[in-house]
Structure 1
Amino acid sequence: MKKLLFIFFFGILFSSCDNGKDEIDLLVVNAKVYTVDDGFSTAEAFAVDEGRFIAVGSSEELQEKYNVLRTVDAEGKAVVPGFIDAHAHFYMYGIQLQTVDLTGTTSFDEVVERIIKFQEEKNADFITGRGWDQNDWEVKEFPVKDTLDVLFPDTPVAITRIDGHALLANQAALDAANITAENPVEGGDIEVKNGKLTGILIDNPMDLINNVVPEPTIEEQVTALLDAQKIAFKNGLTTINDAGIDRETIDLIDSLHQNGNLEIRIYAMISNTNENLDYYLDRKPYKTEKLNVRSVKFYGDGALGSRGAALKEPYSDRHNHYGALLSSVEDFKKTAARIAASEYQMNTHAIGDSANVVVLKTYDSLIGNEGDRRWKVEHSQIIDEEDFSYFSKNIIPSVQPTHATSDMYWAVDRLGEEREKGAYAYKKLLDQAGIIALGTDFPVEEVSPFMTFYAAVARKDTDNYPEDGYMKEQALSREETLRGMTIWAAYSNFEEGEKGSIEAGKFADFIILDQNIMEVPEEQIPGIKVLETYLGGKKVY
């Protein structure tokens, strides 16, 4: 009799728990959910199971529909898809975290102070760092190596400008790389004044120094990737396009994904080297849930801040100086044709209007609007009026809005007023292409996607300058900006079917914000914080 009663009551308990409902892993309720679906609809709740969204709706209907292992009450907070950074340097940023941080320095004296402090702590055999920008100093000229020669006569020092397109090396570093005033130069510059090296190298000659910098150990590389991941998750980034990495780094990322130590999703752009191309282009693209290797990164020219961007007409602030392409047009076309014959996407760094037109015409001749190739022009920064027409959903502009607000103080000096009208023209690019992918370009700019959002919609710095916005007619709406940081970025990666919006069947990558990014006053956007970040339904921050 006791046995029958036990079975009876157990049956009642089991049936009351089951209720005919499916059991799921996670339910988020009481939220302001911006799904970023085709209709840019909002919702109150969504359900997650086995790492993917399975339903979107109201809190009441989803609570009635499912038995839930964990419920998150968002308390009315805004929830958006995990941000996709369409252009950054994830691995480089992690490595930079292990070196001298020179971002935000207001003078060369401060640069020197940070190097001295770093060396007192680290006693490095070769001192490296990144982040200085002479345009932020009172004296806006490139620094020279003399002080570093005196302080570090026997220790090589090489510190890279914030854009990665110029560096300052002391004499010990120049000697280690066998650099003299007589070195032949192609695709950049080795600066010489009064017959002597200043220590400034621009673009291609930087490789001479980089080739003698000691390679980080595997342990240092792993630390770099994990450190970068922590900061990315804190900022709500769940996928990052790493713009230019080698096979060895890609393999390391893949192995860390496989063993569970690294979780962030990476869209890897393969660095354009013969070794990398020979290995990958004869193979099909490589894809897992967290790693996508299907594109090649090519550098067309340098940066505007270091006057390395290739312009059609001379720089307004340097007589008869045009910048430079980093490879010959013939080499670029040959590489592009090779990539076009493969299954890989091509993503080309192009800043100046001369570089952009070479890239755009080459793309158009090879892929035009045929097929579904989605080749990207990374930065698309300065475009001649007649060249905007090349952009489309097959030739996609990939831009970083904070470049506009970082460069706006001096861009007109480099370009002149007329040419500046075709620079940082994000709204015009969107109108032409129908899509625009947005990124940060960290560590060139800050990691924060909220600064990206603010720069895109307000076109101001955090001091509210300029009051009416920089070339405000080129601002994007908040909806366009959020799409550019989520679903359009996913589309540019061939990943719109699996991420970029909160819809059933996609990876449950989402973030909860402390303020509503779609509604707060513009000036509050940079201060928005991520409360929680979820990757595949798992809380990672």
Structure 2
Amino acid sequence: MKSAILFLLTTLLFIRCTSNTEVDLIVHNARVYSVDSSFSMHEAFAVKNGIFIDIGSSKDILKRYKAKETIDAHQSPVYPGFYDAHAHYFELANLFQEVDLNGTKSIEELIDRLQQYKHKNPDKKWIIGGGWDQNLWPGKAFPTKDSLDKYFPDIPIYLSRIDYHAALVNSAALRIAHLDTVLDVQGGVISKDAHGKPDGLLIDNAMPLVSKYLPKHDEQSTLRFLQQAQDSLVAVGLTSIVDAGLNDEELDYLKTFYAKGQLKIRDYAMILADPSQIDRYIKEDIFESDRLNIRSIKLLADGALGSRGACLLEHYHDAPTKGFLLHTEEQFDQTIKKLADSKFQVNTHAIGDSANRLILDVYGKYLTDNKARRWRIEHAQIIAPNDFAKFNKFHIIPSIQPTHATSDMYWAPQRLGDERIKGAYAYKDLLKQYGKVAIGSDFPIEHFNPLYGFHAAIARVDNSGYPAGGFQMENALSREEALRGMTIWAAFSCFEEKKRGSIEKGKDADFVLLEKDIMEIPVEDIRKVKTLRTVIGGETVFHRAAR
């Protein structure tokens, strides 16, 4: 009897090892970073119906399975699909159609780009653009409408600052908005000239006074622009993004497009909520599908450091202001209290140390079962020394963007001073508290290539290698930490770690092949690495043709 059982087991094992089960895809001869709990390495995997069904050595996988498609990776590295934990999909899609002002070194260069755009698009009723940053200009002074009016007296212009927390408009735009006097705006500023009139600079909650008049895209155009943006995202290995704050119309568009299979990239969309409307959002049901999930609400606590809208505990080092909150403390308290009793995750934009303290304390005041709720603070950019421990105490996920550190390092010390800057962009300190960080780019504020964020996280230098030795290197992340932050930890921050974020059996087959191994090559070469193939749910959505 024992010999019969042994024979049967041996036969079954033989069949299993030689059965050549049919699958859709095999990838072999690769360096597979699983990013599982032990950070294990493999050579090959098999995919069926969009799911990883087996992972192991090339010999075993090729013996066990036969596939409709087999990819010899030629020892290329393979990683879980990259996951951008904080991004703005619609803004990127729109920017591709508008005037890209990123990198302009002066108001003169900005004007030149506007003129070129107008020449190429003579029928446009508005000139809309974004990406300017006065910190890159001589003198670093904010621009005014006078610079625009000289060259564009008739066509209205709306230009978002790089952080999307300020806008420059001309007189024609102010006339359309009937904005000829300076108003008091809660959580915003209408900048004024020497005569007390609006000078064209709008900060935070003052921006909608003009932006509500901007022309809207129809459904067909919106889909086309999103697909164009998607092409760029998958070309750099992104398979999932977090859409950090969408209005009702944008959410409805996404539901329609995903239901029809018109978009491929996975989207974890946050509802951008006004505290005065919070009761309406709480009544909404969570929406979950294979590629679109809507189960979180985004609040905005303050503005940005670059436009001095970030809310600080003490005055800015370079200006007699502390910034401001976008809503009152009472509104945040009441709103978060209601949300704590809802089913929604809450993710709050907080830049300044005062804003971060407020949100951490109110989170802690009302949250119960904190670990399960996975509430986040978006940016967590400047933290007072005594507040770091609250991320651990209240179980709050830091959602960070490493390229902000290397973009802001040129002027942030002037904003904050020598002591306060030590608690800014402190990613290692945040990691020590929570044990995880969710890494994103905040595109289009920063470039959407996730390798730029990976590079900034570990080297703390910009694309030129400045500064030598790195910016505040005590807060650099290791390569493993950075890779986890843009894969499994990002997925965890969205309740998706059981579906994606690592290459493991039973998970969605989202992965990326790169031409070089970012875990081993010199840091100065990381930004140059090209994506060879991006796969979402077993489907190749980007493939770089062999040269």
Fold equivalence (TM over 0.5): yes
Which residue is 2:444 aligned to? 443
Determine whether 1:520 maps to 2:521. Answer: yes
Which residue is 2:355 aligned to? 355
Residues 180-204 of structure 1: CA deviation (Å, up to 9, x unaligned): 3331222121111312322111110
1:540 partner SS: strand
Which residue is 1:68 aligned to? 67
Per the TM alignment, residue 151 of structure 1 is displaced from its structure 2 partner at its CA by 2.0
Q: Would you say the 8 A contact 2:182–2:192 is kept in 1?
A: no
State how far apart, in whole Å, the 2-side matches of 1:249 and 1:430 are: 33
State how far apart, in whole Å, the 2-side matches of 1:350 and 1:199 are: 26
Amino acid at match of 1:42: M
State how far apart, in whole Å, the 1-side matches of 2:374 and 2:30 are: 34
Per the TM alignment, residue 227 of structure 1 is displaced from its structure 2 partner at its CA by 1.1
Q: Would you say the 8 A contact 1:82–1:486 is kept in 2?
A: yes
Which residue is 1:251 aligned to? 252
Which residue is 2:545 aligned to? none
State how far apart, in whole Å, the 2-side matches of 1:497 and 1:31 are: 24
2:199 partner SS: strand
Alignment of 1:83-94 (within 5 A): 83-94=82-93
State how far apart, in whole Å, the 2-side matches of 1:278 and 1:248 are: 18
Per the TM alignment, residue 277 of structure 1 is displaced from its structure 2 partner at its CA by 4.3
Q: TM-score, normalised by structure 1?
A: 0.95
Which residue is 1:491 aligned to? 492
> Which ranges of structure 2 fall in alignment gaps of 5 or more residues?
1-14, 543-547
Alignment of 1:294-373 (within 5 A): 294-319=295-320, 321-367=321-367, 370=370, 372-373=372-373
Residues 245-269 of structure 1: CA deviation (Å, up to 9, x unaligned): 0122122112211212111100000
Which residue is 2:3 aligned to? none
Q: Would you say the 8 A contact 2:274–2:299 is kept in 1?
A: no
2:388 partner SS: helix
Per the TM alignment, residue 126 of structure 1 is displaced from its structure 2 partner at its CA by 1.4
Per the TM alignment, residue 140 of structure 1 is displaced from its structure 2 partner at its CA by 0.7
Alignment of 1:212-251 (within 5 A): 212-251=213-252
State how far apart, in whole Å, the 2-side matches of 1:338 and 1:170 are: 40
State how far apart, in whole Å, the 2-side matches of 1:248 and 1:357 are: 32
Shifted more, 102-111 versus 497-506: the winner is 102-111
Shifted more, 422-431 versus 265-274: the winner is 265-274
Which residue is 1:381 aligned to? 381
Per the TM alignment, residue 19 of structure 1 is displaced from its structure 2 partner at its CA by 6.2
State how far apart, in whole Å, the 2-side matches of 1:513 and 1:473 are: 29
2:370 partner SS: coil
Which residue is 2:282 aligned to? 281
Q: Would you say the 8 A contact 1:368–1:395 is kept in 2?
A: no
State how far apart, in whole Å, the 2-side matches of 1:115 and 1:412 are: 31
Alignment of 1:399-414 (within 5 A): 399-414=400-415
2:492 partner SS: helix
Amino acid at match of 1:131: G
Which residue is 1:7 aligned to? none
Per the TM alignment, residue 42 of structure 1 is displaced from its structure 2 partner at its CA by 0.6
Determine whether 1:417 maps to 2:395. Answer: no
Q: Cα–Cα, structure 1 residues 488 and 69, in superposed 2: closer, same or farther, change >3 Å? A: same
Shifted more, 299-308 versus 367-376: the winner is 367-376
State how far apart, in whole Å, the 2-side matches of 1:221 and 1:409 are: 36
Which residue is 2:474 aligned to? 473
* Sequence identity (%): 48
> Which ranges of structure 1 fall in alignment gaps of 5 or more residues?
1-15
Q: Would you say the 8 A contact 2:93–2:228 is kept in 1?
A: yes
Q: Would you say the 8 A contact 1:247–1:276 is kept in 2?
A: no
2:373 partner SS: coil
State how far apart, in whole Å, the 1-side matches of 2:193 and 2:415 are: 22
1:324 partner SS: coil
Amino acid at match of 2:508: F
State how far apart, in whole Å, the 2-side matches of 1:467 and 1:70 are: 46
Which residue is 2:56 aligned to? 57
State how far apart, in whole Å, the 1-side matches of 2:355 and 2:140 are: 25
Q: Would you say the 8 A contact 2:350–2:381 is kept in 1?
A: yes
Q: Would you say the 8 A contact 1:300–1:327 is kept in 2?
A: yes
State how far apart, in whole Å, the 2-side matches of 1:106 and 1:182 are: 29
Q: Cα–Cα, structure 1 residues 280 and 186, in superposed 2: closer, same or farther, change >3 Å? A: closer
Per the TM alignment, residue 504 of structure 1 is displaced from its structure 2 partner at its CA by 0.4
State how far apart, in whole Å, the 1-side matches of 2:275 and 2:190 are: 25
Amino acid at match of 1:160: S
Which residue is 1:292 aligned to? 293
Q: Would you say the 8 A contact 2:44–2:57 is kept in 1?
A: yes
Per the TM alignment, residue 276 of structure 1 is displaced from its structure 2 partner at its CA by 6.9
Q: Cα–Cα, structure 1 residues 69 and 517, in superposed 2: closer, same or farther, change >3 Å? A: same
Alignment of 1:501-516 (within 5 A): 501-516=502-517
Per the TM alignment, residue 452 of structure 1 is displaced from its structure 2 partner at its CA by 0.2
State how far apart, in whole Å, the 2-side matches of 1:369 and 1:140 are: 46
Residues 151-193 of structure 1: CA deviation (Å, up to 9, x unaligned): 2222111101000011111011111112233312221211113
Which residue is 1:117 aligned to? 116
Per the TM alignment, residue 274 of structure 1 is displaced from its structure 2 partner at its CA by 6.5
1:505 partner SS: coil
Alignment of 1:141-152 (within 5 A): 141-152=141-152
2:500 partner SS: coil
State how far apart, in whole Å, the 1-side matches of 2:268 and 2:316 are: 35
State how far apart, in whole Å, the 1-side matches of 2:445 and 2:90 are: 13
Which residue is 2:81 aligned to? 82
State how far apart, in whole Å, the 2-side matches of 1:159 and 1:182 are: 19
Shifted more, 439-448 versus 275-284: the winner is 275-284
State how far apart, in whole Å, the 2-side matches of 1:203 and 1:229 are: 28
State how far apart, in whole Å, the 2-side matches of 1:381 and 1:182 are: 31
Amino acid at match of 2:273: N
Cα RMSD of the aligned pairs, angstroms, is 1.5
Which residue is 1:102 aligned to? 101
Which residue is 2:153 aligned to? 153
Per the TM alignment, residue 374 of structure 1 is displaced from its structure 2 partner at its CA by 0.4
State how far apart, in whole Å, the 2-side matches of 1:410 and 1:521 are: 28
Q: Would you say the 8 A contact 2:18–2:63 is kept in 1?
A: no
Which residue is 1:23 aligned to? 22
1:61 partner SS: helix
Which residue is 2:165 aligned to? 165
Which residue is 2:178 aligned to? 178
Which residue is 2:483 aligned to? 482
Q: Would you say the 8 A contact 1:37–1:501 is kept in 2?
A: yes
Q: Would you say the 8 A contact 2:19–2:64 is kept in 1?
A: no
Q: Would you say the 8 A contact 1:168–1:199 is kept in 2?
A: yes
State how far apart, in whole Å, the 2-side matches of 1:160 and 1:438 are: 24
State how far apart, in whole Å, the 1-side matches of 2:132 and 2:370 are: 43
Amino acid at match of 1:29: H
1:213 partner SS: coil
Q: TM-score, normalised by structure 2?
A: 0.94
